[in-house]
Homo-oligomer: A and B are copies of this chain.
Amino acid sequence: MGATRRPTIKTVAARAGVGRTTVSRVLNGSALVSDAARQAVQTAIAELGYVPNSVARSLVTSRTDSIALVIPESESRLGSEPYFSAVIRGVSNGLAGTQIQLLLTLVRDQREMDQLTRFLTARRVDGVLLVSVHRDDPLPGLLEELGLPTVLAGRRSPAEPLHHVHSDNIGGARDAVRHLIERGRGEIATITGPPDMDVADSRLRGWRDALEEAGRESGGELVAPADFTEEGGRSAMRGLLERRPRLDAVFAASDVMAAGALAELRRQGRRVPDDVAVVGFDDSIVARHTDPPLTTVRQPVEEIGRTITELLLREIGEPGGARRHKVLPTSLVVRDSA
């Protein structure tokens, strides 16, 4: 009747004619095993097709060999935002060559947040990667309190105390706006992301820096807040055109918003780049397909994913190190919209 149970360490020990401990030592690469014993054990493992039960191992070591990637985002973004896919790919790359598994946790509402809290409190993972953090996100604080190794992609504020990695948002935005200035644009507006995110702040800051260093206007009328969505970009553009009908350039803090802006400009009969130049941010796949193709700031999203993973693995390996912090360079990709 009963299917033959999977072999355990005991089965292997019996077959190899050694004790459990010796098998365990071989499994974990301990040096205190004679060659003869090691051989016998390895043969037995191969013959039995033995695979260690990692749950049992976890119970005693209290390591799980898994990390969580937490994406606390309203549904609308993952999917429309290629950003997350790229991060995931990078994380997966960073994990290649380890035995560590990736848990993906999308947090959409308070219920899921509570569930995640319990999950993390129970230490079901060895570490956490946090993406797209908002200024008053409760999660980083919780993780700090739990003492669970954590690395952020992005930061809550410039004073972020946790390990984190982000791209040079200020520099990237500055380059974009300098480019517009060099091309002779006079009135350069910006469409920003949600004000409770540091990315949005930083890109706005870069816009402002570039304008100020050139002695240009960088007043509030030229700033239209949106929310990183296409529809947001569209209506921000509409607002800008109402307030400042003579503007001739826009820096949007994301490609998706830039795409929305392009749509609105077309609807109002403004030619891009002839009448209005547009620059985006991200160099996501949409940038290559807009009409006209979008000039944008490339950020190495996949590399961000890889880097946060590397930092996390290091922190898990030897906890309590100094705060690690990396800024990855951006680069301007010039296409036809500016």
**How far, in Å, is A309 (CB) from chain B's closest CB?**
13
Complex: how many Å from CA A64 to CA B54?
11
A99-127 interface bits toward B, Cβ cutoff 8 Å, 1 = contact, 0 = none: 10111111010001001001101111000
Copies in the complex: 2
**How far, in Å, is A289 (CB) from chain B's closest CB?**
4
Chain A interfacial residues counted at CB < 8 A: 50
- In the complex, A51 has a CB within 8 A of chain B: yes
**How far, in Å, is A269 (CB) from chain B's closest CB?**
17
- In the complex, A142 has a CB within 8 A of chain B: no
Please pick, from B56, B106, B291, B302, the residue contacting A92 in the complex, using a CB distance under 8 A. Answer: B106
- Asked whether A121 lies within 8 Å of B51 as measured between CB atoms, the reply is yes
- In the complex, A37 has a CB within 8 A of chain B: no
- In the complex, A239 has a CB within 8 A of chain B: no
Task: Please indicate the chain B residues that have their CB under 8 angstroms from the CB of A84 in the complex.
Answer: 85
Quick one: closest B residue to A66, CB to CB? Answer: B103
Please pick, from B78, B89, B104, B115, the residue contacting A79 in the complex, using a CB distance under 8 A. Answer: B89
Complex: how many Å from CA A292 to CA B92?
35
- Asked whether A79 lies within 8 Å of B86 as measured between CB atoms, the reply is yes
- Asked whether B289 lies within 8 Å of A124 as measured between CB atoms, the reply is no
- Asked whether B101 lies within 8 Å of A103 as measured between CB atoms, the reply is yes
Complex: how many Å from CA A308 to CA B259?
33
Complex: how many Å from CA A18 to CA B89?
49
Complex: how many Å from CA A189 to CA B6?
54
- In the complex, A273 has a CB within 8 A of chain B: no
Q: Answer whether A102 and B99 are a contact pair too, CB < 8 Å, given A51-B122, A85-B84.
A: no
- In the complex, A17 has a CB within 8 A of chain B: no
Complex: how many Å from CA A4 to CA B109?
31
Instruction: List CB contacts (< 8 Å) of A14-62 with chain B.
Output: 49, 51-56, 58-59
A118-157 interface bits toward B, Cβ cutoff 8 Å, 1 = contact, 0 = none: 1101111000000000000000000000000000000000
Q: Answer whether A108 and B96 are a contact pair too, CB < 8 Å, given A59-B59, A79-B302.
A: yes
- Asked whether A102 lies within 8 Å of B105 as measured between CB atoms, the reply is yes
- In the complex, A286 has a CB within 8 A of chain B: yes
